[in-house]
Structure 1
Amino acid sequence: MYIIMLLACLLSYSIYLLLSSRSKFLALKEKSAQIQIMYQPVTIEEQKLNDLNNKYSSLQSSYQDNLTLLRKREELFSKYHISIGTSDSTVYSKLVNSRELKDIESKLHQSKARLKEMVGKKTACICSIGSDVRVNGKKSEATKLFNREVKLRLRCLDNEFKAASALVAWNNINRLIQRTTDTFNEINVSGTTVKTYLSNEYLKLKTEEFRLSYELNQLNLEIKDIEREEAKILREAEREEGRIIAAAEKAEKERIIMEKLVAEELAKLESSTEEQKALYKLHQQELEILREKERRAISLAQLTRAGYVYVISNEMSFGKGVCKIGMTRRADPNDRVKELGDASVPELFDVHAFVFTEDAPTLEKYLHNSFAEQRVNLVNNRKEFFYVMPADVIEKLERYDKSININYFDVNLNK
């Protein structure tokens, strides 16, 4: 009986808890529905944000793939678009640093001999398919086929190097070398079926031959440029000869006039005033200057290589730290500087030094070679502008081991 009553109580309490929990659940459910309605716009926006994030990630991935593809195509395009206006991304490094033609010719001859030897010994391109293959039931036919494959691959690579040699210039040689290497790899990939491959040693020798031929041609051009420059100097010397002779005659006349004036003043010196004596000393100094001027004019007339080397700059036109180092055979080097100042530059050149020497071309070449690495135009060696301070040029002149006469000017040498 007690058990029944206890069970009835437990059942009643359970029913009460159930109803109470159901009531709370319904209240919470209603509250949850209200919250969902309240935050529904946020949920929608979050979904949009997730969609945008996924789309952005997809676009990023697509962008990276397309960028990689673009870079590959640009690299491929640059190897074939090698006209004027394009240039290699790196500076070409010479195989031979010698300035002697015979050194480069010797190395080129050795490379060609080794190439010929490799072709003769059949090590330039090797077919490793084996000797048991038959074509039309004959081994001889198979041998002919594979020999043609070898010759075809050698010819393809040789033609690529011939095309590169016809196009090569200072601004594209590195890209042409890469292009021939890519062609070599493509030829070997296509030879997988017949197991016929060009050797890496053959490619190395072909590249060496290509580079040496380019360097030999460049050195020949430079030598011709030097010869033309020397011929130009001689022609200029011939043109200047008349003016130099006239300048010498003029200097002689001025010197004679000044000597007469000094002689007249000397005769009256004892009865002269202090002011007249001072004037006499001044005229003596001017006479010495005129005699020196006459001596140099006569020297210029007598020596075809005598002249002035000038060190000038023009900060307004070319910026700070740029000097022009040139030479002239004119009796007055200022005439040449004024001429340069009229050549489409906004300001006249500042003169830092005039150097008189009996061998002006050699002195100019000495300075140009001393600052070769600082040349503004590394392609055309005839251009005379250098990234160098005037003081550095003067210091180099002062260490020159031959007789020269340097005239300094009161212009800031460090500008």
Structure 2
Amino acid sequence: MAYKERLNRLQQSIKTMARGDQAVLAVTNWTVNGSSREGAAMVRDFSRLMLRAYNAEADNCVRNVKPHRVAAMVDRLAKVRATIARLGKTMDIQIAGSYHEARVMEIRLTADYLGKVEEEKERVRAERERQREEERARRDFEREKARLAKEQAHYQSALAKLQASGSTAGVEELQQKLEELADAIAGVDARDANVRAGYVYVISNLGAFGPDMVKIGMTRRLEPQDRIRELGDASVPFRFDTHALIFSEDAVGLESRLHAALAEHRVNQVNTQREFFYATPAEVRAVLERIAGQHLLEYREMPEALEWRASGARTSRGNAPDRAVEPSVPAATMPPVAPPAVTA
């Protein structure tokens, strides 16, 4: 990794500066008991002591730095340098500016490196989650195709028996049913083949996150509510409420457009894998109508939050419910628009 290589080179340079007496500045014309050699030894010993104290603090800053604490650590090290300059004023002992800048750069690079490592971990985690979700969707498609194939075989057998008996009653109805099943199987095959097709969902969790936060994601599942139920597992105290389900042949692109439109409202501005946004369902609806349009299956602005309400609608340890969390926008729905048929 480029950051790691830069950090290693910088740390090697810091060691070279310290060993080459380039880390500390001090006067050299001191004498002790009339001996300039003893005076130089005293200055050298004090310089090493001061450098050791400075390096101990610098090392501590590097060990404990986090991306959000860089400024605090840099300021802390600057104060240590100023303290050393004050204590060593008599012999004009101070940490060299170039050495201090190198150690500050070490703090910054370490924070950047840790940030990149965390980003990579999150990327790997997100990719594993995507693969797991894709595998679940694949199993959904296989189960649905198996169910449809079994039903198709049943109607084909019934049709064959009617035709063998010479009876025409019910033949047309069976043939129509077989055509519908063939279309349904073709629809599932098309969904399975198109890795971008799926549902974009808008959900909220009033009891966990309050009225001004939503999550916008996508799933390829045949039944999108399965994914939403999984998100409301033990990691949150209440289940999510669904505000919108949008089927699209390019759900990946639709999700990206929605995220881009709400980018300024993103809760986590560092990790874009976290799909939460500071917005009310009513605010998101306006964006959806502009971007999703006729693809909108349904929209509900008022979250039911049944578990939260049944639990007392509390937003803190107190017993009284917080009335401010009740959405003020009246419930509204749009007429459902059915997605392409994938089942009989």
TM-score by length of 1: 0.55
Asked if 1:247 is matched to 2:182, the reply is: no
CA gap 1:342/1:125 in 2 versus in 1, 3 angstroms: closer
Distance of 1:383 and 1:294 partners within structure 2: 35
Partner residue of 2:201 out of 299, 311, 321 = 311
Partner residue of 2:115 out of 218, 222, 228 = 218
Q: Identity, % of aligned pairs? A: 24
| Paired position in structure 1 for 2:102 | 205
CA gap 1:168/1:262 in 2 versus in 1, 3 angstroms: farther
Partner residue of 1:264 out of 159, 172, 183 = 172
| Paired position in structure 2 for 1:6 | none
- Give SS of 2:130's match: helix
Pairwise CA distance, 1:163: 1.1
Could you tell me which amino acid in structure 2 is paired with residue 160 of structure 1? E
CA gap 1:333/1:203 in 2 versus in 1, 3 angstroms: same
CA gap 1:373/1:257 in 2 versus in 1, 3 angstroms: farther
Asked if 1:188 is matched to 2:85, the reply is: yes
Distance of 2:152 and 2:232 partners within structure 1: 30
Deviation track 1:225-282 (CA, whole Å, cap 9, x = no partner) reads 2112212322343354333201123345667889989982599xxxxxxxxxxxx9xx
- Structure exhibiting the larger radius of gyration computed from Cα positions: 1
| 8 Å CA contact retained: 1:123, 1:199 | yes
Pairwise CA distance, 1:350: 2.6
Distance of 1:112 and 1:241 partners within structure 2: 49
| Paired position in structure 1 for 2:274 | 383
Distance of 1:337 and 1:292 partners within structure 2: 28
| Paired position in structure 2 for 1:328 | 219
RMSD of the TM alignment (CA)? 4.4
Distance of 2:18 and 2:81 partners within structure 1: 16
CA gap 1:227/1:263 in 2 versus in 1, 3 angstroms: farther
Pairwise CA distance, 1:114: 6.1
Distance of 1:370 and 1:207 partners within structure 2: 38
Asked if 1:178 is matched to 2:75, the reply is: yes
Distance of 2:106 and 2:183 partners within structure 1: 57
| 8 Å CA contact retained: 1:251, 1:297 | no
Could you tell me which amino acid in structure 2 is paired with residue 206 of structure 1? R
Deviation track 1:272-328 (CA, whole Å, cap 9, x = no partner) reads xxxxxxxx9xx99x94xx76754453245457x555352313374444442212233
Structure having the higher helix fraction is: 1
- Give SS of 2:298's match: coil
TM-score by length of 2: 0.64
Aligned length: 287
Could you tell me which amino acid in structure 2 is paired with residue 191 of structure 1? G
Say which structure, 1 or 2, has more relative contact order (CA 8 Å, 6+ apart): 2
Distance of 1:242 and 1:391 partners within structure 2: 32
Greater shift in the superposed pair: 387-396 or 329-338: 387-396
| Paired position in structure 2 for 1:84 | none
Alignment of 1:7-406 (within 5 A): 102=2, 104=3, 108=7, 111-112=10-11, 115=14, 118-119=17-18, 122-128=21-27, 130-131=28-29, 133-170=30-67, 172-252=69-149, 264=172, 287=180, 294-299=185-190, 301-302=192-193, 305-306=195-196, 308-314=198-204, 316-317=206-207, 318-340=209-231, 349-356=241-248, 360=252, 371=262, 373-378=264-269, 382-388=273-279, 389-391=283-285, 394=288
Distance of 2:116 and 2:130 partners within structure 1: 21
